[in-house]
Amino acid sequence: MDIPKENFSEWYNSVIKDAELCDLRYNLKGFVVIMPNAADVISRMYRLYEDALERRGHRKSYFPALISEKNLEAEKDHVEGFAPEVFWVTRAGKNELEEKMIMRPTSETAMYPMYSLWINGKTDLPLRLYQSGPVWRYETKATKPFIRGREFYWIEAHDVFATEEDALAQVREDMETTEEMIHQSFGIPFIFFRRPQWDKFAGSVNTYAADTLLPDGRALQLPSTHMLGNNFAKVFDVKYMDDEGKEEFCWQTCYGPSISRIFAALVSTHGDSRGMVLPFHLANLQVVIVPILKKGNEEKVLSHARGLEEALSQVFRTALDSGDDTPGFKFNKWELRGAAVRVEVGERDIESGKAVVVRRDTGEKAGVPFDELARRIVAIGEEMNISLRKRADAWFSGMGKEADTLEELRKAIENGGGFVKVPFCTDSREGEPCAEKVKEACAANIRGSKYGKEEIPEGKKCIACGKEARIYQYASRQY
């Protein structure tokens, strides 16, 4: 990566400000104003993700942002997990409310009481709904724009099935959706971990989370998918009548890609010392045209550049920068903002019949005949997307480490971070004290075991308690 690990936070804050992605001056801590340069990209990410869900049979819905206190408290583990994070609504105008409400931190307790009304027989299953929008959590850790805040934008899918097998198949499908969108489309590498029991989603049977790494080696959780079993169904009476007329509790899953947090990973994964680099299909400007003006040729060059803008705008998101700034200033401005391709055109280019085309990711320059520009830019876009993903994958694969002792883990974490594979006694709740010991000794968190790859230690001792190790867990510092 081109971003120095030790300067990542400084780089990130600078890009957020200088590329006008968000404004931190909103006078509520943990809340930011997402500006058009970020909102436009986030909107494209939303559309792509929603399309992927709908291709797989999900349908969109909208549920209220307010949830009753009674609903929240219905599921014991869930309320214990979320109560410290909720924003309470206790008054309307001058009147105290008879029943307190919360701003939704997640929507299980809003949606499932309705599901119990909608589901009667097997013909009502499967039910697969999603909604997109903000949620609110009283985040007490240090906030960072897009990465961690008190309001964030996500998609949450909530699915209901007749059988455990169908629910588990949905969890696997959620993982496939994550691979398609996060890795293949957005170019962000990750590992799916099964979270240990002490760190699973409140009220679930198991949680599977896709974790990536930011340039400073810290982990960032992206989408997670949760096997809920019958836990919520039993609380909210989500049942169906089987073929023999017997009532059965449904099996449920939920899936939550935080689009605003994925945006943070997108900016951080592909950016460089000059600013943002984005996959071609997500860039706000796929083509920026910069006329090279000299005294006496202004009208000739600008006229030609306007013609190019009109033609290329039929195919790409295109802008002509005809302002009074110098070409160098314009180059830096659009590189900072992640314009994918720059087309330079001056009098000499017009005479030669070729424009200078510059790729944002590599800086490669090439002379391209005007009548071949559109075709060449399409090819560049495809090449950029592949190149960005391969570059990110190469860096990510080099961030895997192993440690057998706390001292080895501490050194690995301090030497660039990443995911460190460690022998561990268990991933049941009995392992939580060992996880706390790892956190105290190494300032690292246990992220979980790698999903889909059974890794059993042989002749190893738990890194924390010294008992026989029965599982490999992965540790890292986290956001």
Tell me if 226 is assigned to some domain.
yes
Give pLDDT, residue 1: 57
Same-domain pairing of 219 and 103: yes
Residues 291, 259 share a domain = no
The contacts of residue 7 (CB under 8 Å, 6+ apart) are none
| Tens digit of each residue's pLDDT (9 = 90 or more) over 180-206 | 999 999 999 999 999 999 999 999 999
- The answer to whether residue 277 sits within a structural domain is no
Do 43 and 147 share a domain, yes or no? yes
Residue 145 lies in a domain: yes
Using pLDDT thresholds of 50, 70 and 90, give the confidence band for residue 76. Answer: confident
Q: Is residue 223 part of a domain?
A: yes
Flag whether 395 is in a domain. no
Instruction: Identify the domain boundary among 270, 301, 317.
Output: 270
> Is there a single domain that holds both residue 210 and residue 291?
no
| pLDDT at residue 298 in the model | 85
**Do the Cβ atoms of 158 and 116 come closer than 8 Å?**
no
CB 23 within 8 A of CB 31: no
Question: Pairing relation of β-strands 151-161 and 251-256?
Answer: antiparallel
SS (H, E, C) 394-463: HHHHCCEEECCCHHHHHHHHHCCCCEEEEEECCCCHHHHHHHHHHHHHHCCEEEEEECCCCCCCCCCECC
Mean pLDDT of 296-300: 87
**Residue 226 and residue 337 share a domain:** no
Residues 298 and 345 in one domain: yes
Look at residue 222 and tell me if it is in a domain. Answer: yes
Assess whether 386 and 407 both reside in one domain: no
Strands 191-194 and 206-213: antiparallel
Residue 282, domain member (yes or no): no
The model's pLDDT over 270-284, given as tens digits with 9 standing for 90+, comes to 999 999 999 999 999
Of 270, 298, 330, the last residue of a domain is 270
**pTM, 2 dp:** 0.95
Q: What CATH number is attached to the domain comprising 423?
A: 3.30.110.30
Last residue of a domain, one of 390, 416, 434: 390
What whole-number distance in Å separates Cα of residue 427 and Cα of residue 206? 11
- Which CATH number do you get for residue 293? 3.40.50.800
Q: What is the domain extent for residue 379?
A: 287-390
Number of domains composing the chain: 3
Identify whether residues 221 and 156 lie together within a single domain.
Answer: yes
Q: Report H helices in 130-206.
A: 164-178
Q: What is the pLDDT of residue 72?
A: 86
Residues 76, 205, single domain; the answer is: yes
Number of neighbouring beta carbons within 10 Å of residue 67:
23
- Percent of the chain surpassing pLDDT 90: 90
Q: Which of 401, 307, 381, 383 is nearest to 345 (CA)?
A: 307
**Apex CA 201: angle with CA 195 and CA 206, to 5°?**
50
Give the pLDDT band of residue 84 (cuts 50, 70, 90).
confident
What pLDDT, on a 0 to 100 scale, did the predictor assign at position 295? 86
Which pLDDT tens digit goes with each residue over 239-263? 999 888 899 999 999 999 999 999 9
Residues 194 and 305 in one domain: no
Verify that 406 and 366 share a domain, yes or no. Answer: no
Whether 54 maps to a domain, the answer reads yes
Q: Considering only 78-87, 205-214, 441-450, which range has the smallest mean pLDDT?
A: 78-87
Segment 227-242, tens digit of pLDDT: 999 999 999 999 999 8
- What sections of 153-238 are H helices per DSSP? 164-178, 231-236
- Each residue of 107-159: pLDDT tens digit? 999 999 999 999 999 999 999 999 999 999 998 777 789 999 999 999 999 99
Q: Are residues 373 and 407 in the same domain?
A: no
